[in-house]
Chains A and B, each alone.
Chain A
Amino acid sequence: MFFHIVLERNMQLHPRHFGPHLRDKLVSKLIKDVEGTCSGRHGFVVAITGVEEIGKGLIREGTGYVTFPVKYQCVVFRPFKGEILEAVVTMVNKMGFFAEAGPVQIFVSNHVKIQKESEVRLKVIGTRVDATEIFCIGTIKDDFLGVISDPGAAV
């Protein structure tokens, strides 16, 4: 599920970037550092939609780098237990199949007849979260779940 959330991060900037475009440099560094990452708490950061506030910079002792606390809004994607997702099958093996919904991979065991690139509707029954990745287990065994369309078939 997608969320719009406000996050905060401390950005470090080298003094060579100081000048009239300090803010722009800070924002582009933020985008480069944060977009595409995943945290266990918030999920995948898909895109930054705006910067709310940039606090006062503090010069770090010994290095000369300056730390700015930046508050920014972003769109995050995080799968939840009990959520229904429509995913595309990426890999089939003996134990089941892997499907992808956005940036997240879901494993479903005990498939019926399934092919790669099929679309399936599944329910997330468990999520495992570590520092940089989210991994899900799903099921297609309940009512209204299962294969939506096969690859190459007309919808």
Chain B
Amino acid sequence: MADRGSKGFSAASKGKAIASKRGSLNGRPNSSANIPHINVLSDSDSDGFVEELPRVNYKSNGKAASESLKSGGRASSKREAGKGGNAYNAGKGRKGTTASAKSDAEIKLDLDMPPNSTILMNCEVAELLQEIHEHMAILSEDPKIKMPESFDKAFQYAKEGNHFTTAQSVKQVLDPLRKYGVNDGEICMIANIGPETIEEVYALVPSLKVTRSLNEGPIMEALTALADIKAAK
């Protein structure tokens, strides 16, 4: 009895959930999977249950004990928590997914290009690659020169992603935003996305939300101006 009791004692100290399960069997309020009092074991009401459970737990603890020898006890407590505290874990899991889903929306543009590079908007690239393509058409009479696949793909992408008539007009509309704390990467994103509403801008470029009070007015004006130069597709 003492033996079983002592083993049960160590089990309870390791596996919070098992003690809580016992608690719920006794009809005691089971607020959470936190450690209730170890006194449960000595409760005469639950003698019958105490007889059963330690045996079950002993078996699992036997396994758990050997596991803990390997992994320092973490695996065992985790498994025991998994068995008894299912609701707790599920809740944790749910919280976990919403937290990661929230953070996806908040992921900001993380540019780490070397300092001597200039960002190009899709409209600028489309014009640039069009010139090169025309050049290449002349040069491609030479059979040794071949257009790489990535050039064609990038050219196609830039042409299709380009919502506007000319790059120059887009630059004229968006350059003034620099005065209001909008950096190059963000300006480029706005040009590439071609947003229709201000809410779309803030949802897709979350880093602009920080200086919303400063840049909301100018961005709205820019969107209206961009709507005028949007090419009919």
Contact = CB atoms under 8 A, between A and B. Distances in A.
Interface of A: 1-6, 28, 31-32, 35-36, 38, 42, 44-47, 49, 75-78, 80-84, 86, 100-103, 121, 123, 125, 139, 141-145, 155
A5 B203 contact: no
Contacts of A35: 148, 150-151
Given A80-B110, A102-B157, A142-B105, A3 B119 contact: yes
B122 A2 contact: yes
Contacts, number: 121
B189 interface: yes
Nearest to A143: B203
A78 B158 contact: no
Given A35-B150, A47-B154, A80-B111, 12 more contacts: A1-B119, A2-B154, A3-B117, A36-B150, A75-B120, A81-B110, A100-B153, A101-B157, A103-B150, A142-B203, A144-B195, A144-B203
Contacts of B204: 84, 123, 143-145
B149 interface: yes
Given A47-B132, A75-B129, A80-B110, A142 B154 contact: no
Interface residues of B, number: 47
Nearest to B126: A2
Interface in B113-138: 113-114, 116-122, 124-125, 128-129, 132
Contacts of A101: 157
